[in-house]
Amino acid sequence: MVTIDGSTITARALKNEGVDSIFFLPGGPIGGIIQAAHKLGIRCVDVRHEQAAANMAHAYSRVTGRPGICVTASGPGTTNAVPGIANAMVDGCPVIHLGGASPAVQFGMGGFQEIDQLAVMRPITKWADRILTPRRIPELVSAAFRHATTGRPGPAYLDFPKDVVEDQVDENEITYQALSRTHARPPGDPSLIKEAAEILIKAERPIVIAGTGTFWSQSGPEFQEFVEKTNIPFFTMPQTRGIVPDDHDLSFLGSRSMAFRDADAILVMGTRFDYMLAFGQSPRFSAGAKMIQVDIESSEIGHNRAVDVGIVGDAKMVFQQLTEAIGNRRRSASKAWIDKLGIQDAANRELQEVQMESDAVPIHPLRLCKEVRDFLDRDAVLVVDGQEILNFGRQSIPSFTPGSRVNCGTFANIGTGVPFGIGAKVARPDKQVLVLTGDGSFGFHAMELDTAARNKINVITVISNNGGWASHATSRKAQPGGYLGFSDYHKMANAFGCYSERVEKPADIRPALERAAKAGVPSLINVIVDDQVKNITQAQSAYKPGAIGTKITYEET
């Protein structure tokens, strides 16, 4: 009889599911899983903190559209990953988390690092279960993938007790699952498609708001065909940027607030009416606007905002159905509507460019954004993290390809920037990956620069260093903990073997980025920016038109 242990079975089950990369921190009892995975050719990236492993798996998934995998040791190793898994849950991202655990035979006895990990993980995952025999490992690994990827995506968790992963069983008793999940795409109800089409045909001021459901369904081509055939302006949510290029003729990101407020028909595709959309309420949206909501998750239809037509279906399929149903009957959106959006968009961008061209010292954050924008390849992956720089960056730096924009999402789990960048680079090693982060946010996972250096993951990290949390414009020095100082983070990066520079003049930003790109190692550019500049996004409770930001008027995107 040839025997095989649970660790090897697990690695083979992952390989069977198409896994090519794992993010982990060494420890018991997962060491055997990692060793077996490495022997099978799976890339195993070791991190300095388990939350970073979950973040890296998250970004890997956000860039590829496939599940990302993190593996953690028992007890605190697994609970350290909780913020990252919770972020994936809120963001609707398919992260598979394998957690080592105390021996099952000692449950309830006070075993080493014992805690009920299932009780911890169940509220923050779509599905969680425990392996109790090696014979069921392939079945339950496959189930984790199925639960994480079907319907609205989200994380899945599997508990691996020490005695189970180390147990030996007859290899002939193990059956690896064929890919046991469907790739079917549910279409929308034909009668509801017809109702939605009639609304859009008659509308004078229609818009499309596209969320991450359009990314997970890989609906970019169908989305673009729909807006071009119907001539309907569109707006993408921050995590969806690039699904159709931001420079498309029907993209008016600079007139978002006006469009939301004045539209008479709104197609909301694959996104929730959460705080990012003011819960669908007025005055952010007109109470009289015809609302069409499409989502793969039926419980989201009509959540927070009553809808005129609610369609349950896959975004790719529904875009195709609507394009066919509308056919040639759609009158072009009112020329006055298109012109109005274009004028507002151009005006806001022109005002923004004033700050982006500023030669002032200290550097205006928007000037930093301009240099990053002009440096990036068209298919680069941009990770944005922080508060001030997050808002400046999402307003001013465009994206052009699917999966090219990653941020912390609506959970606002700041500090994800560096691990997100590493996960994105592992997913797309041939693409330029740049992390634009605040100095406060950088501190959460600064040690992951060591991860990047040791694993030769050449991410460029740019710190917008304004000396602390938020800005001095809020009397930060008078607030306990608000001031961090303009620290030499680049020196720390250099100690890990990264290329690094400190930049204090606008003209020096681009040359520093070019040197970082040519360095052949991970890099960090520590840019000292104006600590008096504060970017104020519109109040979540009000969303009234008016000035936001400092000395300029433009809209959040």
Mean pLDDT of the chain: 91
Residues 61-70, mean pLDDT to the nearest whole number = 97
* Nearest-10 crossing angle of helices 50-64, 417-427: 50
Q: Of the segments 321-335, 461-475, 519-533, which one has the largest average pLDDT value?
A: 519-533
Reported as a single tens digit per residue, the pLDDT across 427-452 is: 999 999 999 999 999 999 999 999 99
Reported as a single tens digit per residue, the pLDDT across 387-422 is: 889 989 988 999 999 999 999 888 888 899 999 999
pLDDT of 38 > 80? The answer is yes
Sign of CA dihedral 12, 18, 20, 22: negative
pLDDT above 70 coverage of the chain, percent: 94
| Residue 3 φ then ψ, to 5° | -105, 160
Distance linking the first and last C-alpha atoms of the chain: 62
Kindly list the structural domains of the chain, giving each domain's residue range(s) and its CATH number in brackets, ordered by start. Answer: 3-173 (3.40.50.970), 190-340 (3.40.50.1220), 357-528 (3.40.50.970)
Contact 416, 438 (CB under 8 A): no
Max distance between CA atoms of the chain, in angstroms, equals 78
Strands (E) in 379-506, as ranges, are 381-385, 405-406, 433-438, 460-465, 499-503
More confident of the two residues 276 and 482: 276
**Binning pLDDT at 50, 70 and 90, where does residue 480 land?**
confident
Asked which of 136-145, 266-275, 546-555 is least confident by mean pLDDT, the reply is: 546-555
Query: 445: how many CB neighbours lie within 10 A of its CB?
Result: 26
**Binning pLDDT at 50, 70 and 90, where does residue 111 land?**
confident
The residue length of the chain stands at 557
Reported as a single tens digit per residue, the pLDDT across 201-256 is: 999 999 999 999 999 999 999 999 999 999 999 999 988 999 999 999 999 999 99
pLDDT value of residue 138: 96
Q: In angstroms, what is the C-alpha Rg of the chain? A: 24
Strands (E) in 347-427, as ranges, are 381-385, 405-406
Query: 547: how many CB neighbours lie within 10 A of its CB?
Result: 11
Whole-angstrom CA distances from 507 to 81, 203, 294, 360, 513 are 40, 48, 46, 10, 11
In order, the DSSP letters of 275-304 are GGGGGG-TTTS-TTSEEEEEESSGGGTTSS
* Nearest-10 crossing angle of helices 6-16, 137-149: 40
Sign of CA dihedral 268, 269, 274, 278: negative
